[in-house]
Each structure stands twice: as C-alpha cells, then as structure tokens.
Chains A and B, each alone.
Chain A
C-alpha cells in the first residue's frame, strides 16, 4: 500500500519561499499523478496543483504565478515550491496521489507550515 510523507520547514518568513518534499514509499512514482492540497481554517481544502511523473504540471490559477512542482523519480519524491509567501499561505499542506481519475485516493499525513517573522 502506497504511503506518502511530507517533509520541510514548519516555519517560513514572509516574502520567502516555502519548500516541501513528498516521499513516496510502497509503490512507484511512475504512471501516477501527484498532487499538493492545502487546508487552512479560512479557505478550507484547496487544490494547489499536480504533476505527472514525466514532469507535466497543472497549477491552480490563483497560485500559478508563485508555485512550481518537480518530480525526482530516482528518489521516488516530488516537491512543491511556493515563493513570496504571506500569512495567508499558513496551512496544513498535504501531498496526495490521484486515483485512476482525479480523485485523491491516498494522502500524506500533512505538515503544518506557518508563515511568520
């Protein structure tokens, strides 16, 4: 059974870059779409974007100018970068895998990232 684990700093300063990695175990990273979703009290669950193992990406328009994702198939990892963060980016960030279509069939446990000086 696939397992996902987010890692990265839990505190980021305003205007800096949020960087997270998701490590996939128990299954290959190839042939799947991988996604990032965040959850904050104010905005609920928000899909940030997804990436295919080939590197093909799709980002939510509201974050598209600040977000990038990449995949490292040799390490079975994919990553999220969000630049120029503000307090509004404070949230629990989840990495997830899509099922055969784009519902989220597997999730990491989530990592709380606070944006604060």
Chain B
C-alpha cells in the first residue's frame, strides 16, 4: 500500500503571503508509460466535503483560482498558494490514485497568521 505523508501538519501564513504544503508518497506515483503523476490535491473547509483542486499533480481543476498550483514528480509533491486569501483557510489533502487502495495524506491545516 502507498502511504502519503504531508508536512507540516499545520501552517500559519499572513494574508497575501505564500503558503507551501508538501506531500510525500512511500513509492513513486509516476506512471512510466504516460509520464503522468497520479496525485491529486483537495481543499476541505469545516462541515464540507473535500473539493478537488488539482489532479495529475499540476493540472488545476476548472474554476480553481490560479493562485493554487501543484508541482513535483515521483514521490515528492508541493501545493503552493501564491498569495493567501482569507477564504483559503482550510485543511488540504493529497491523494494518490496510482494504485489501490487509494490513499490520502493526513491533512495540513492552513490558518491565517
């Protein structure tokens, strides 16, 4: 099974500043036949389901603001929010869909400093 580990567990960033969340997989989620990383990012606000932000590690879902970006490949990935807005306060999760059982990171709680 692939274990997803996020860091940090929580993060406080000032409004307008950059926020960076890391995700590491216990084995590569890069599929060699198509050179795609099977990695997604989600945002979850209290009392709401997760919301898809990014898939294929760096492709933004339709409607997601361009201040959200994903990068990385293989086993190490990053979600970056370029200029933190108040509405970005949430918990963020990574998820691998490379192989079953599909698995999520433990979550990173993002707050305003």
Stretch binding the partner chain, chosen from B11-19, B47-55, B78-86: B47-55
Among B1, B48, B50, contact of A104 (Cβ-Cβ < 8 Å):
B50
Stretch binding the partner chain, chosen from A18-26, A68-76, A83-91, A95-103: A95-103
With A99-B52, A110-B49 as contacts: A104 and B100 at CB distance below 8 Å: no
User: Contact residues of A with B, CB < 8 Å?
Assistant: 44-47, 58, 60-62, 94, 96, 99, 101-105, 107-110
User: Contact residues of B with A, CB < 8 Å?
Assistant: 1, 38, 40, 42, 48-52, 55, 61, 93, 95, 97, 100-107
Among A101, A102, A107, contact of B50 (Cβ-Cβ < 8 Å):
A107
B49 partner residues in chain A, CB cutoff 8 A: 94, 96, 107-110
A45 partner residues in chain B, CB cutoff 8 A: 50, 93, 95, 104, 107
Interface-centre pick from B42, B102, B103 (highest chain A CB count, 10 A): B102
